[in-house]
Structure 1
Amino acid sequence: MLKDRFYYEDAYMKTFKARILQKGKDSDQRSYVVLDNTAFYPTGGGQPHDTGTIGGICVIDVEEVEGVIRHFLKECLDSAGEVAGAIDWERRFDHMQQHAGQHILTAAFVDLFGFQTVSFHLGKELVSIDLDVEDVSADQLAAVEKLANEIILENRPIETKWVSEDELTEYSLRKQLAVTDEIRLVIIPEFDYNGCGGTHPNSTGQVGMIKILSTEKQKRKVRVHFACGGRVIQQLQRKHEELSAASKLLSAPEDGVSNAIEKLLTSNRTLEKSLEHAKEELLSFEAKRLVEHKNGIVVRYAFTDRTVQELQKLARLIIAEDESIIALLVAENENHLQFVAARGTLAKASMKQVAASVLPLLNGKGGGNDAFVQGGGERTMTGEEMLNVMENTLVK
């Protein structure tokens, strides 16, 4: 029976002895053993599996397959008969803290605002729940976190009880249960009654604390990321290190980092505007220089590593200098060729015909109208060769 398993009899059991019932390999050739009883919790209900050792061999995974718990080992176990098992207690207790913290936080959302939890994930660094609502305010998050930590400080007992389906009417369950056989309730008196197969500490005080860290939208639901117990300290240490590093980089005290960043951003925006203005002036100067070296009514030039946006701006500046000019500009960028062809209002040639002459040669694509086109494709020729094709189209 489920309730006879060691991890349910005593969640604090760190070592145990059991008999080997079966050895084997799964379809992925992973070695496993089956014991007559175990303190290793298998993956399930949002809680990851335990790790540790059996017979001195590392347990890397624990799964329940058709009612049988398989302990997957790093290497084959030579032992037979009785073996000793040892749980990685630090990992187990962390999972106990996070899982119990999830119960408390979920119950707090229900108690204060009626927000139901629809899923739970216990990750390596953070824990998350998905709430069946589209939005949660900062004030609501603060209120829930406050209530959850009050429940922890009260150090209420966390009880487990095995009940029958008929006995469920005696309890005010947070949500309807999916199982009808061997039902295990996890109870925080006068606060939370919930069916659960996970491991938990025996009092809320051992959860330590709960800190909500962030939220995000997930398909008309809200995902809440949080940490409990020792993980809060880890998150605090990580954030302190980041804040300290930022403080040094900004030459500002830690409590003045946000102000320093705001000043830096303001300065950066000013510099970006100045840089953009300088670029525009350089392009204008470049356009004048190119017009001075026009060949008849054509200005042509092949660039290296220029964006098509820069080509477009440059072409517009060129034809603004002289309305009778046609500008043919090409950029060679790694394995691609890009071009812009533009005419002044007094020029008569069709730029669409120019594009039509070169695009098939590049296996490319483009768009525009008779006055202005742009496009690009594969680098099947040099920029100068492409300019020759474009200019020859104008002659024709």
Structure 2
Amino acid sequence: MLKDRLYYENPYCQKFSTHVVNVSQDTKGSPYVVLDNTAFYPTGGGQPHDTGTLNGFRVLSVEEVDGEIRHFVAGNLDSPNEVEGVIDWVRRFDHMQQHAGQHILTAAFVELFDFQTVSFHLGNEIVSIDLDVEAVSEQQLDEVEQLANKIILENRPIETKWVTEDELDHDSLRKQLAVTDEIRLVIIPDYDYNGCGGTHPDSTGQVSTIKILSTEKQKRKTRVHFVCGGRVLQQLHKKNRELATTSKLLSAPEDGVAASVEKLLETNRVLEKSLEEVNDELLAFEVKDLLSQQNNYVVKAVFANRPVQSLQKLARLLVAEDDEIIVLFVAENEDQLQFVAARGASVETSMKQISSATLPLINGKGGGSDAFVQGGGERAVTANELLQVMVEYTC
């Protein structure tokens, strides 16, 4: 029976002895061991599996398949009659803290705002729940966090109980149960009453604390990221290091980092605007220079390592300055050839015919209109050869 499993009988069990029932491999050839009983929790219900050792061999994964708990190990146990299992307690207790914290936080969302949790994920660093609501305000998050930590501080017992469906108090259930035979309840008296197959500490105080980190939209739901217990300190240390590093880089006190970043961003915006103005002035000079070099109303040029977006802007400036010209540009950018062709408003030649003749030569792709085209492809010909073909199709 489920309730006889060691991880349910005593979630604090760190070492145990039991007998081997079967040693085999899965379809991928990964070796696993089935035990008479186990303290290793298998992946399930949003909670990851335990790790540890069996007779000194590392337990890499624990999965339940068709009611059979498979312990995937790094090595060959040689089918011993008896094995000693040791649980990675740091990992186990962390999962107990996070899972119990999820119960507390989820119940707080229900109690305060009737926001239901529809999924739960316990990650390596952060835990998340998805709420069946499109948006949650900062004030609501603060109120939920305060209530959750109040429940933790009260150090209420966390009780587990096995019941039949007839014994259930359906009115008190936080969510619909997925099972109807062996039902395990996790209960925080006068606060939460919920079916759950995970491992939890025996009191809320052992969760230590809960901190909500952020939220994000997930279609028509809201994902809440949070951490509990030891992970709160980990996040605090991580953020403190980042803040200290940023403070040093900005030569600003830690409580003045935000103001310094805002000032830096404003300076950057001013510089970007100034740079754009200078580039526009340079383009204006370039337009005049290229117009002075036109031959039979054709302005042509080859460039090296120049973004096609810059050529597009330059071509539009040229045809706006003189509506009787055709502009033909080719750029050599790394292992590609890119081109731009544009015509003035008084020109009837379609730039599409230039594109159609050019693209096959470079196995390229492109598009545009009768007035303006662009494209790019392989360097199958030289830039000057490609430009010459473009010139031929302006006639």
Give the structure 2 partner of residue 257 of structure 1: 257
Give the structure 2 partner of residue 166 of structure 1: 166
In 2, are the aligned partners of 1:152 and 1:204 still within 8 Å (CA)? yes
- How does 1:167-182 map onto structure 2 within 5 Å? 167-169=167-169, 172-182=172-182
**Offset of residue 171 of structure 1:** 6.5
User: Which SS does the other structure have where 2:40 is aligned?
Assistant: coil
Q: Equivalents in 2 of 1:315, 1:117: separation in Å? A: 56
- Classify 1:299/1:91 alpha carbon distance in 2 versus 1 (closer, same or farther; 3 Å): same
- Classify 1:372/1:57 alpha carbon distance in 2 versus 1 (closer, same or farther; 3 Å): closer
Q: Equivalents in 2 of 1:21, 1:349: separation in Å? A: 84
Give the structure 2 partner of residue 333 of structure 1: 333
User: Which SS does the other structure have where 1:180 is aligned?
Assistant: coil
Give the structure 2 partner of residue 55 of structure 1: 55
**Offset of residue 381 of structure 1:** 1.4
- Which has the higher mean CA deviation after the structures are superposed, 171-180 or 11-20? 171-180
TM-score, structure 1 length as denominator?
0.95
Give the structure 2 partner of residue 17 of structure 1: 17
Q: Equivalents in 2 of 1:181, 1:370: separation in Å? A: 72
- Classify 1:94/1:357 alpha carbon distance in 2 versus 1 (closer, same or farther; 3 Å): same
AA aligned opposite 2:47: Q
**Offset of residue 323 of structure 1:** 4.1
Structure 1, unaligned runs of 5 or more: none
In 2, are the aligned partners of 1:299 and 1:326 still within 8 Å (CA)? yes
**Offset of residue 85 of structure 1:** 1.2
Q: Equivalents in 2 of 1:244, 1:387: separation in Å? A: 55
- Classify 1:286/1:13 alpha carbon distance in 2 versus 1 (closer, same or farther; 3 Å): same
Structure 1 residues 199-220: Cα deviation after superposition (integer angstroms, max 9, x where no partner): 1000000000000001111121
**Offset of residue 170 of structure 1:** 7.2
Structure 1 residues 246-267: Cα deviation after superposition (integer angstroms, max 9, x where no partner): 1111111111111101001101
AA aligned opposite 2:337: L
- Which has the higher mean CA deviation after the structures are superposed, 151-160 or 316-325? 316-325
- Classify 1:347/1:58 alpha carbon distance in 2 versus 1 (closer, same or farther; 3 Å): closer
- How does 1:301-320 map onto structure 2 within 5 Å? 301-320=301-320
Do residues 267 (structure 1) and 292 (structure 2) align?
A: no
Structure 1 residues 106-127: Cα deviation after superposition (integer angstroms, max 9, x where no partner): 0000000111111111110011
In 1, are the aligned partners of 2:132 and 2:222 still within 8 Å (CA)? yes
- Classify 1:64/1:320 alpha carbon distance in 2 versus 1 (closer, same or farther; 3 Å): closer
User: Which SS does the other structure have where 1:271 is aligned?
Assistant: helix
AA aligned opposite 2:165: E
Q: CA RMSD in A?
A: 1.7
- Classify 1:292/1:203 alpha carbon distance in 2 versus 1 (closer, same or farther; 3 Å): same
- How does 1:225-304 map onto structure 2 within 5 Å? 225-304=225-304
User: Which SS does the other structure have where 2:177 is aligned?
Assistant: coil
- Classify 1:25/1:342 alpha carbon distance in 2 versus 1 (closer, same or farther; 3 Å): closer
Give the structure 2 partner of residue 131 of structure 1: 131
AA aligned opposite 1:195: G
AA aligned opposite 2:243: L
In 1, are the aligned partners of 2:342 and 2:371 still within 8 Å (CA)? yes
- Which has the higher mean CA deviation after the structures are superposed, 74-83 or 266-275? 74-83
Identity score, percent: 68
AA aligned opposite 1:257: V
Structure 2, unaligned runs of 5 or more: none
Give the structure 1 partner of residue 73 of structure 2: 73
Give the structure 1 partner of residue 46 of structure 2: 46
User: Which SS does the other structure have where 1:394 is aligned?
Assistant: coil
Q: Equivalents in 2 of 1:20, 1:203: separation in Å? A: 34
Q: Equivalents in 2 of 1:75, 1:312: separation in Å? A: 63
Q: Equivalents in 1 of 2:372, 2:72: separation in Å? A: 67
AA aligned opposite 2:355: A
**Offset of residue 289 of structure 1:** 1.8
AA aligned opposite 2:30: R
In 2, are the aligned partners of 1:55 and 1:79 still within 8 Å (CA)? no
**Offset of residue 373 of structure 1:** 3.0
**Offset of residue 367 of structure 1:** 3.7
- How many aligned residue pairs are there? 395
Structure 1 residues 118-171: Cα deviation after superposition (integer angstroms, max 9, x where no partner): 111111001111111111111111111110000000000000111111110377
**Offset of residue 3 of structure 1:** 1.1
- Classify 1:174/1:346 alpha carbon distance in 2 versus 1 (closer, same or farther; 3 Å): closer
TM-score, structure 2 length as denominator?
0.95
- Classify 1:175/1:336 alpha carbon distance in 2 versus 1 (closer, same or farther; 3 Å): same
Do residues 100 (structure 1) and 106 (structure 2) align?
A: no
Structure 1 residues 72-94: Cα deviation after superposition (integer angstroms, max 9, x where no partner): 11101136222211111101000
Structure 1 residues 232-276: Cα deviation after superposition (integer angstroms, max 9, x where no partner): 000010010111111111111111111101001101011111111
In 2, are the aligned partners of 1:20 and 1:83 still within 8 Å (CA)? yes
Structure 1 residues 52-90: Cα deviation after superposition (integer angstroms, max 9, x where no partner): 111111111111122221111110113622221111110
Give the structure 1 partner of residue 150 of structure 2: 150
